[in-house]
Structure 1
Amino acid sequence: MATGGSSIYKGSDLIHDYSCSKCEENDLNTEATYFCPQCEHYLCDKCVNLHNGYHNKHTVYGRGDIQKWAGFSLDRCDAHGDKLKVHCDDHQQLCCSVCVALNHRLCSSISHLPDLAKGFLNTAEFKQLPKEVDKMRNRLDELSNARMKDQVSMNDSYKNIISEIKAFRKKINKILDKLEKKTVGQLDRQKEDLEKIIKDDMESCVNMNNQHKTMMEKIQQINGKHKETNSYIGFRICQTKLGETKSAMLEIQKKPTRRISFKSDRSLLPFLRNLNNLGDVDSFLSMPKRADGDHVYKTQSSSCYDVKIKKDVSKCHIVGICELPSGEVVIADHYNRRVKLLNNQYKVTDHCDLPSYPQDLCRTERYDIYVAVDSWGTLHEVHSLSVTRGKLQAVRKFTTNHLCLSIAIHQGQLYVNDNNSLYQYTMDGELVKEIYKSSSPDRTICKCTVSPDGERIYVTNYAKQEFITLDKGGQVLSTLEDPELLWPWGLCVCPSGNVFVCGKASNTVLQVDRKGRKKLATVASKADGLCSPSSVCFSEHNSSLIVGNLNQDQIIVLNTFKQ
């Protein structure tokens, strides 16, 4: 294991960004100038020569390739390179001595890593890690393959669009060819009309010219004893023809000269110049299709599991349930003011007491639990808990200026509601905005949860007995009422997007479609052990529904199957 990094060593006040691993073994503080990734050792000028003698086939990186030095040591701080020694419980961070000195001096709880690690190899969390990593890697492979298919689809779309553009261009060319042909036809007709007029005038001139020529030839050929009389007659006829010809010429000369002209449609060029392209090219969001769709679930059998512990002084009221990746279950016991951790057999293995009544809980993608705590008086808080080595541990909390009656989480955003409003918070407790507000004076918001894609927020309206679906901006998309959904209370969404909601007064758990518009099935009823169900959670590990009832010391596990 590499042992370089920024640290302060015995007998020296010098701080190196990376120290020689071999020198450190002899309690010497020498700056490293090389790194061997095969050995995961940082080496000084002296030790690198010894290393190269033993490992002449290893590739050693110098300071010029220092970007290749980092990231080889699990037990080293990414920020400072020093050895990780403690865990800040307040911030849930692994820390080296430099981290503590710079950023965690004021933290209230810091644990020594060897103490935290005792017995950790035997915990369910650690044993579950390979399975969780394999599961995540499979999901990454699936996502990568899906993106490869998206790339192929994108290239196919590109080729199809190119074909569409060329086909559109051909259509435009055909239209232009047609317009050109029509315009040339108009030109041809105009030319034909003008040619006929000109041809007729030219023929008239030729005919009159020939008539005058013939007449003069005949007059000049007159002879004999009647030459003088006949010449006079010819003269008079010729004079008449000259008058007629003069009039005809005047008529031709009076005609205006006709020319052919072309005036293009000036609106076409500006229109074409103003076009940016032949059409709009844009990308659009295509939500991934779910492989399983809205499968309808039905209860096959039900079982009861006791969740009461010796410290409990009141009847249990389980108002919140969530399942951890390890298969462990965390529940919020309202009347006994505590959060309880259950193992895979639903047996209570640990608990964490709270200052007031938990109203609801949710979890992050890992093992962090967020609990809405409220006294219906002056205490309005959100508590963060962690699960480590099968133990619940309080991490931090923040206070709100409104009731905290329900809580949900999606991609680093918390959703907390009071009686009539739904608020969005950061994970650190900073108010982002009020998403939804009801004008009714009654309790209109009981519980809330978020769809896996974050596009919809589901809310149970206790006063109006409605199941409401909001978009992520808080606009109402749909409202559902059903005679088997009386006093709607707890609800949950499984990873595939299927939605389940409790009818507290109807003693039912209904399945609702993703859009929140219709009931798909009554999954469970009083016959399955439901009695004022207040909370529900879908278990990924065994496809079951875990239900918490009002004033009962047991949880109900409904074994379901897809119809």
Structure 2
Amino acid sequence: MANFSQATIDKGSDIVQDFLCSTCEDKKLDTTADFYCESCVKFYCEICINMHSQLFTKHAPFGRGYMKKWPVAKKVEDFLLKCDVHTEENLTMFCDEHSELCCTNCALLNHRQCKRITLISDKVKSQSSHLQKLTVSIKKILKKMKKLQENKEACIDFVQSSYDEQLHTIQETRRKINATLDTIEQKTLTEMKDTLTKLQASFKSDVDKCIRLWEELKQLREAIQDLNDKSRLGLSFIANNKGEAKIKQSETFLKKSSLQVKVLIRFQPNSDIVQYLSKLPGLGRIDSTQTLMVQEHPNNVFTVQGKSVHNVRISSDSDE
């Protein structure tokens, strides 16, 4: 199997980048390979290929212009074969009833009652894969996922900005009140901070999921590109099913999170606070205003406004 350079492995998501010269690797050198000899089943750099050609005149190595003749990289093969649930097991079966790839543990634990479980090696004899179409679909999903990620990250910055602006309003209001309001002020700031934390946590969760799905789809796309035009039906079948499952998962997430949400934290001072200080629950009211922007077409945009209200109270307050 082909070996990867250490830089390739360290990048994590870039699972398909380069191959190492087999001869140089034996000498503990990381040299990029430029040729692959099918007879030797080895890779060679520009320097080592000269010696190889002198020793094996009848061998016909393939240069980078013919990388379709190069083997599937071991890291790509391992990535596709690995079961997502039982990471130590390889995918060897396919359940037609659930349209799921299975390892031995999956078949035993989740598909014991299924009657249509087939070995992948048998399944690929009667079913073809459409890797090129899958690559296009993954590319589209990656673009949407990246856009959604950027939107959620912008929401985090926006809500922080609105928080900073409204904090100034709170401080201006506080200067009109005497020192006895210290406890109420702290309660108000704490409530607003909690609101900020909850809102940011919600967006951060979406951002993290965007990043995870984006990385998984990117890895899958690169693995598929390495498989193109290579006679590895089993891997192609696995890649096809993994891709479709990941696309379905991503589309579900995109559909659920497609609305571009901007949440505004707002502090509304109570104009009667000085006169009715003893009866007031806090410095004012904190709420978050959501602006939902749905854009189906560049010339067709509509906006929906929504607002959630949070009452600020202290423990000594009683309901009237």
TM range (shorter): 0.3 to 0.5
Greater strand fraction, Structure 1 or Structure 2? 1
Q: Which has the higher contact order (CA 8 A, sep 6+)?
A: 2
Greater helix fraction, Structure 1 or Structure 2? 2
Q: State the structure with more CA Rg.
A: 1
